[in-house]
Structure formats: structure tokens, C-alpha cells
Structure 1
Amino acid sequence: MTTRPFIVGIGLVAAMGATTITYLTWIRPWVMTWGATDDEVAAELPGDELLPAADGVATRAITIDAPPEAIYPWLAQMGPSPRGGAYTYDWIENLLGLDMHSTDQVLEEFQHPAVGDTIGVGPEASRVEIADPGRAFVTRTTDGDWVWSFTLVPVGHSTRLISRNRFRLPGLAKKLAMIPMEPGSLIMERKMLMGIKERAEALAHAG
């Protein structure tokens, strides 16, 4: 009477194990490095020193047909209202209560972030750690467990925008919980990078 449920249970465990191995071996490397070259993934970038012993690193990148000075303004003003949003799927962000409203305008009042400035409130708040116009913009969560850096690398008349997330996950439960969240983070960040690209190119081409 108990043999069949036992066999079914073993089969489910085996299937889950095979799925996890497939994801970790073949899919996860692409998820965590979308758009980035091998050299960019391996490069030491501004902000890496803020969390050297990270449990995970995601390096994603995009080419933008604009100079760094047309890209940095969109990075400098990122954040919840009244800041400029995150240029991704606002409705998803706001389901989580993040109050994001992506703007197509450069907001002058947020164009001069300084080290020590706080973006957001509560457990989601981040502190500006590097604000180097045209080169890098880096924030770190107030608990120190997440560093998000944006690095601008000119390439001819274009710019490579490299986004890197370094995160620390205390405890096994948080490490396991992150696995199914990684593909979702790619969906959101890909949209964000494309949103910045669209806005920066429009700004550059408008002079």
C-alpha cells in the first residue's frame, strides 16, 4: 500500500534534483551574466571592494549608443518616488510596495548625489557609496548585504553600461530562496538596462 507513494516521492525528488542541476550548470551562468562579455564578468569594478566575500555575483551589461554623460543622469536619479524610478516594470515593483514611477525626464534635483546620501526608506534603503559622474555609481543596502554598481566604459562613440549586483545571503534558507528569484531578477534588470539605453540615446540624439 505504501510502495507506490514512496516511488512517486522518490521520482519527484529525483526530478527536482535533475532540474536544479540543469539550472545551476547550464542556465544560471547565462542568467547571471546576460549581455556581459567574459572580460567584463572577470573584471574588478568599482564597488567590488565593499563586499569582497559575496555569496553571489550577477554581472549584466548593454551597449548604449550614447556617451557616458548622457547615461549617468538616469543612474543618479534612480529610486522610489519622488526620484526617477527604475525604468523597469513599474507595476511589478509597485506590487511589492516600492513606489516606483519611471520617468522619461532628467530630474535636476537628483543630479548631484553625494556619498552618504540615502535612497529609499526602511529595509529597502540604500546608501550612495560611489558617485563618480560619467564613470560609476554604486549603492549599498543599509544592512551591507547588497552592493549594486553601475560602471560606464566608453567604446568608440558608444558606452558599455555594466551593472553588477554583489550579495551576501546569511543562512541556508536565504541561499536556497535566491535560486528561483534569479531568473526574475534578470527579467527586471534586462528591462531596466534597455530602459536606460532608450532614454540615454534619446537624450544624446537630442543634443
Structure 2
Amino acid sequence: MAKKSQPSGRQILAAAGAAAAYYVFLRPQLLKWHTHPSVAEHPLPGDEVITQPNLQLTQAIGIDAPADAIWPWLAQMGRERSGYYVCDWLVNHGVPSMGFVRRDMPSPEAGMSMDGGFHVIQAEPSNVLLFGAFSVNRWIATVDTTSLYVLKPREHGGTWLIMRQREYAFGLMRQIYSLLMEPVYALGMHQQLARLKALSERSMS
């Protein structure tokens, strides 16, 4: 019977070097993708809900549309299977996120239930949407989680859409969970913001 090959010292060093490079160089960029350091590190609405997160990512995207044109897409997000504009196969039971603005929904208000077990924490039209869930079981950890969307005017027209994801994970595996989820959230947030930008700008044409 052939012996199973063991990783060589060179392979182990290469893996350790790649992990160190990710942690030191790539990870800090993922945590604030497309976001100025002053925004990524600045307190935002809803930070007080989870005061000491062990996972936080902040991203931003410039949208060539006023806040009033972006808000309807945020306002219907995660409600009555309208979708979250990301990973529809996972978070929306395979139903594509809405490609049009629904006019039959009331404005989101604090306390409203959302798809996936979330609920609205704060809603200020054309300004702030904050939702979250608490004591959620996620395979190797239990988490409290919040998702924040803030609309701010750009200096030369249009709007900044800023998103911040914060979580506090409980349990012995919480640090491993956070490290594994950071790149997942980073890519998902990037996709979601890009879709919201495309939809908002299309509605202006």
C-alpha cells in the first residue's frame, strides 16, 4: 500500500507565508473595501447595538443618483421575498431579487419583521436603514448581527451608499468563525452594493 505523502517543510512554510500575507496585507483592505479610512473607522448609526463586535466590515460605493432614488430599493430589501440583492440562491430561496420598485409596501419601521429572521432596528427615509438579528445559530458559532446602510451626498453630485456589517460571535470557535466569514461578507457586500448602484442608476435613465 502506497504511503500517503506528507506536506514538505517548504509547503508548510509557503502555506504559513500565504496565511500571514492575507492577515497582514489583504485582510485590512477587505475590512474597508472602497472606503476611505476616515469612514471605515468613524462611528456610524447602529454601532451602539453591538458595542464590541468581533467582526466589522465597512464598504462604500458612489452612485450617480440622489438619495431619494436609492432609498426605495433599500426600503423593500428583505421584505416579502423582494430579496437582498445578493446570494439569492441562499438568502431568498432561489427567488431572484426584485428588479423593479414595489409600490405596494409600507415604509419600513423599527420592529418590522424581515425575511431570514431579521427585523428593522432603525429606518430614516433616504438616510439610514439598520436591521439585524440576535442569537442566530451559524454552524460553529451563535451570533448577534446588524447590517447598516447610510446615504450621504457626494461633494460633486450623486450619493455615497455606505454599508457596515457588524457581528458578535459567541462560543469557543468565535474567532475562527469571524476569520472565515470576513472574506465571505466582503465579497457579498461588494456584489450587493454594485447591484444597488446599477438598479438605482437605471431608474434614473
- Mapped to 1, the partners of 2:94 and 2:88 lie a distance apart of 8
Picking from 121, 133, 138, the partner of 1:129 is: 121
Q: Contact conserved, 1:68 with 1:159, CA < 8 A, in 2?
A: yes
- What code does the residue aligned with 2:167 have? F
Q: Contact 1:86/1:100 (CA < 8 Å) preserved in 2? A: no
Amino-acid identity (%): 28
| Alignment deviations for residues 8-66 of structure 1 (CA, whole Å, 9 cap, x no partner) | 47666544433322111101111111111111102211111111111121001100000
Asked whether the 8 Å contact 1:67–1:204 carries over to 2, the reply is no
| Residue in 1 that maps onto 2:38 | 39
Partner of 1:84: 82
The CA deviation at 1:93 is 4.3
1:176 maps to 176
Partner of 2:140: none
By percentage of residues, which structure has more helix?
1
- What letter corresponds to residue 118 of structure 1 in structure 2? S
Q: Which runs of 4+ in 1 moved over 3 A?
A: 7-17, 91-94
Give, in whole Å, the separation in 2 of the partners of 1:178 and 1:44: 20
- In structure 2, how many angstroms separate the alpha carbons of the residues matched to 1:63 and 1:43? 18
> Any idea what the Cα deviations from partners look like across 1:146-187, whole Å, max 9, x if unmatched?
111000001142100000001111124132133233223222
* Residue identity in the other structure for 1:86: Y
Q: Distance in 2 between matches of 1:11 and 1:181?
A: 28
Which shifted more, 24-33 or 82-91? 82-91
> Which blocks of at least 5 consecutive residues in structure 1 are unaligned?
none
Distance in 2 (CA, whole Å) between partners of 1:44 and 1:203 is 31
RMSD: 2.4
TM-score scaled to structure 2, two decimals? 0.84
Taking the aligned partners of 2:164 and 2:179, their CA distance within structure 1 comes to 17
Change (3 A) 1:111 1:36: farther
Shift of 1:101: 2.3
Secondary structure of the structure 1 residue equivalent to 2:84 = coil
- Post-superposition Cα deviations, 1:50-90, rounded to whole Å, max 9, x if no partner, equal 1111112100110000011111111111116x332122242
Q: For residue 104 of structure 2, what is the aligned residue in structure 1?
A: 109
Counterpart CA distance in 1 for 2:188 and 2:177 is 17
TM-score (norm. length: structure 1): 0.83
Cα distance between partner residues in 1 of 2:122 and 2:129? 5
Q: 2:133 aligns with which of 141, 144, 161?
A: 141
Number of matched residues?
195
Q: 1:100 to 1:173 in 2, by over 3 A?
A: farther
Cα distance change of structure 1 residues 50 and 165 upon mapping to structure 2, 3 Å threshold? same
- Structure 2 unaligned residues grouped into runs of 5+: 136-142
Aligned positions of 1:148-187 closer than 5 A: 148-155=147-154, 156-187=156-187
- 8 Å Cα contact 2:83-2:91 kept in structure 1: no
